[in-house]
Amino acid sequence: MKIFKYLFFLLLLAIIAGSIYIATKDGNFQIEESKTIAAPQEVVYAEVNDFKNWENWEPWSRKSENMVKEYREKTRGKDAGYSWKSKDMGDGEIHTLEARPFSELEQEISFNTPFGKSTSDIYWEFREQDEDSTQVIWGMKGKQSFMEKLAFVFQSETLDEMMRPMFQEGLNNIETSVINKMEKYSINVDGVIQHGGGYYMYATTATKINRMQNRVEKMFADVENYMNDNNIEISGNPIIVFNDWKQDEGTTIFSGGYLTPSQVITPGDSPVLSGHLPNQKVLRLTLKGDYKNLAETRNRAYDYIKENALKLNADEEAFAVYKTRKNNNANPANWVTQLHIPLEND
């Protein structure tokens, strides 16, 4: 009988020692991954800020075949959230505590485990690297309970080893989702219209077609500043006039600026000049999407003209009106540009 007492005593000592070891083991944790995504800060932030978008990229739903989600009334910004139920992944909830456009999100995530409710803090940082890329930092931090630390003693992976690959997968999926959304575009042939024309202020430059859009925003800003400094009224959206377009050589000469209510006489050394668009018949197409699709829009216009036996007016220059652009919507998929091709009157 003594041997059983000794064995029981040794087992008790082992349990006590193990409990002391687990109890004194640091339960604090912080897991963090980052990725630089070739997309504007506002666009990446918007993808993460709306929980409806999470189904496009968060990794845990993809590991469950029976997950059921329930969204709160708000899915974006502070107090937004959703909960889930899953036989193989367990139940849980996540909600946003703070939303600071377009730089930070603070969230709380909870899992229902056999040992009770486990809660951790989730944080996101969105750091602008340049005008077209964003560093995304996704992290989780918290403190494991005694039972959680005990459970991981018998796991083949630590919490860090379990979560880090999921964060990496999620960030890669965010990149794919954002870029796919930014790449979407549509071209619509609006038809033949009469454009009223008008006077406009402009600057002119020559460049490669594929580099054109790098010049456009600066040109608009320079002309706008000139007009403001000289108290010249701006009428409507900015325009681009295509003075020359050589598709085969990949070059273009274009003028960019703003319509103004009346003619403006500028000094001989002025960097900004005054031009005039006539009241004329044009074929109008609307591009919704990145400016890089403007060349395809132009090709579509000339195909339409040929197919419908319309006659080009070779004496006038094609022009584009920028209805929605980079300075007021960061997502290229939402940019709206109207291309106008002058036609001869019947």
Least confident of 33-37, 210-214, 224-228, 326-330: 210-214
Same domain for 134 and 199?
A: no
- Give the residue from 183, 204, 234 where a domain finishes: 183
Q: Is residue 88 part of a domain?
A: yes
Which pair of tokens denotes residue 189? 């042939």
Query: What percent of the chain has a predicted confidence (pLDDT) above 70?
Result: 86
- The predicted model scores a pTM of 0.82
How far is it, in rounded angstroms, from Cα 305 to Cα 49? 44
Which of 15-24, 278-287, 323-332: highest mean pLDDT? 278-287
Output the CA–CA distances (angstroms, integers) from residue 211 to 206, 293, 322, 337, in the order listed: 10, 13, 17, 17
Q: Is the pLDDT of residue 211 over 90?
A: no
The whole domain housing 128 covers 25-183
Output the CA–CA distances (angstroms, integers) from residue 337 to 4, 42, 120, 149, 158, in the order listed: 86, 21, 45, 58, 52
Which 3-state string (H, E, C) describes 36-101? EECCCHHHHHHHHHEHHHHHHCCHHHHCCCCCEEEECCCCECCCCEEEEECCCCCEEEEEEEEEEC
Using the structure block, give the residue that is written with the tokens 């054109």.
212
Same domain for 202 and 171?
A: no
- Give the residue from 183, 209, 241 where a domain finishes: 183
Q: What is the mean pLDDT of the chain?
A: 87
Q: Is the pLDDT of residue 150 over 70?
A: no
How far is it, in rounded angstroms, from Cα 290 to Cα 322? 12
Same domain for 234 and 151?
A: no
**Which tens digit of pLDDT belongs to each residue from 84-99?**
988 777 788 999 999 9
Count: domains in the chain? 2
Q: Is residue 74 part of a domain?
A: yes
**Which tens digit of pLDDT belongs to each residue from 288-317?**
999 989 989 999 999 999 999 999 999 999
Same domain for 334 and 282?
A: yes
Average pLDDT estimate for 238-258: 92
Measured between its terminal Cα atoms, the distance across the chain in Å is 116
Q: What is the CATH number of the domain that holds 163?
A: 3.30.530.20
Which pair of tokens denotes residue 19? 């409990």
Same domain for 260 and 285?
A: yes
User: What DSSP string runs through 224-276?
Assistant: HHHHHHTTPPPEEEEEEEEEEEETTTTEEEEEEEEEESS-----TT-SSEEEE
Same domain for 132 and 198?
A: no
CB atoms within 10 A of CB 201: 24
Q: Is residue 51 part of a domain?
A: yes
Same domain for 190 and 124?
A: no
Q: Is 319 helix (H, G, I), strand (E, B) or coil?
A: strand
Q: Is residue 138 part of a domain?
A: yes
Using the structure block, give the residue that is written with the tokens 């209510």.
261
Q: Is residue 247 part of a domain?
A: yes
Q: Is residue 268 part of a domain?
A: yes
Same domain for 264 and 138?
A: no
CB contact set of 199 (below 8 Å; sequence gap of 6+): 259, 260, 261, 262, 263, 264, 274, 275, 276, 277
Same domain for 211 and 309?
A: yes
Same domain for 179 and 45?
A: yes
Q: What is the CATH number of the domain that holds 206?
A: 3.20.80.10
- pLDDT confidence of residue 247: 83
Same domain for 178 and 34?
A: yes
- pLDDT confidence of residue 19: 43
**Which tens digit of pLDDT belongs to each residue from 152-207?**
444 556 667 778 999 999 999 999 999 999 999 999 999 999 999 999 999 999 99
- pLDDT confidence of residue 308: 96
- pLDDT confidence of residue 20: 46
- Give the residue from 126, 156, 183 where a domain finishes: 183
Same domain for 108 and 218?
A: no
Q: Is the pLDDT of residue 9 over 80?
A: no
**Burial of residue 34 (number of CB atoms within 10 Å: 0-12, 13-18, 19+):** middle
Q: Is residue 7 part of a domain?
A: no
Q: Is residue 6 part of a domain?
A: no
What is the four-CA torsion angle of 310, 314, 315, 320, rounded to 10 degrees? 80
- pLDDT confidence of residue 180: 96
